[in-house]
Chain A
């Protein structure tokens, strides 16, 4: 990366024009990536991204930045691996240091079942061209020396899967990089613009109604994560999504102590150490539906008790902040990408607890779907119709909660 000074601004703040070829609703990571690839890959630049708050102020600002592609099912492995390959060239592509660090992701096994599931997933990953290794407990400890693998703990570590190409990135840099790139290609990024309704005639969407007035659109592409159901309802659509709080926290700043990402599905913990030094930890979702962007403290408490079993060295570390984002979870814990019963209205939602890692891949396939009018081959299995055909992509069972 170049060492030149950071520019004074990264994008214009234009007023909306009366009409666009494509209106993307939601200025988070996925919406911004979609806009960038629409312009860069497909030459479609008459595009607006409408964001009710500020760019990347929702889940993009709240996630734990874990990046991996070691999913069990073929469809998931394909789209997440596509995304990981894009991550590997993204800092150069966007000319922005995303602090993408492939430090390796461990997924711990605490029971015989976990061991079997982990080994099976490693085999499936390898068959799909996704790098994956199985580590026994000693090897896991060698890879992550502060990990407690002893046999007398509540959650003994019996082994782990390792994806060496997995890691973390700096979430806001990702959003800013995509935003700057999209803006430079002519996309209008419009903040403080809430979509309050849709103009639909003859079964086709014609315009969005916003807090800044009516904006006509050839295609309207939803990219609103946890608030997708609210928008869809305004278009008369019912989607198989439930919005839940997902909590995360950071510790005070520490010297480098944790060299990789450690995830444990069984005990609902995932932890890494950010470049700045804080430990970043995520929990499982709160069970009830919510748009309140906060969760219950006992969920954090359970997460911390399990984390301390795995990392006794952290027992005197102080938590600095906790927060929650609102994640839209589909029945099979896989995304919903593609067309809807309303012509010209597309949906990209349901990424649930795992959307950050998918940001480049999601934007890539969504842009292609918008540009061509048919699902990108990697998006095709993730269509809304799978809930009727029964062809689910059940990553609930395969990826469990830490997603």
Chain B
């Protein structure tokens, strides 16, 4: 069981979370202009690195916050994502 730090609740057991995959995948700004290849890229292509990975987690059985972390895909070490909100930043 891994401990994952939710930015609002603090460290919690992995089973409280749902995995959200690669972070930073933005919905296309102009969907109608996308080619089939670009749609395939948006829908299906994700990085799959051996090493540090910037990814989303969802505290589904807790405060229901979505947040990003940096996680190492070999050691499973989790580091804070500088872009993710801290507890004191929540209104």
Contacts and interface: CB of A to CB of B under 8 A. Distances in A.
Contact of A292 (B1, B37, B74): B74
Given A287-B19, A297-B1, A238 B74 contact: no
Interface string B53-71: 1010000000000000001
The winner among A239, A288, A296, A388 for most chain B CB atoms within 10 A is A288
For chain A, give the interface size range: 20 to 34
B71 A230 contact: no
Nearest to B15: A298
Contacts of B46: 240, 242
A287 B16 CA distance: 13
Interface in B33-88: 36-37, 39-40, 43-50, 53, 55, 71, 73-76
Nearest to B48: A229
A380 B18 CA distance: 35
Given A292-B74, A297-B1, A241 B48 contact: yes
A230 B44 CA distance: 17
Interface residues of B, number: 26
A227 B51 CA distance: 12
Contacts of B48: 229-230, 239, 241-243, 289
Contacts of B39: 388
A287 B18 CA distance: 8
Contacts of A191: none
B53 A289 contact: yes
11 contacts: A229-B48, A239-B45, A240-B40, A240-B44, A240-B45, A242-B46, A289-B48, A290-B74, A291-B50, A296-B1, A387-B43
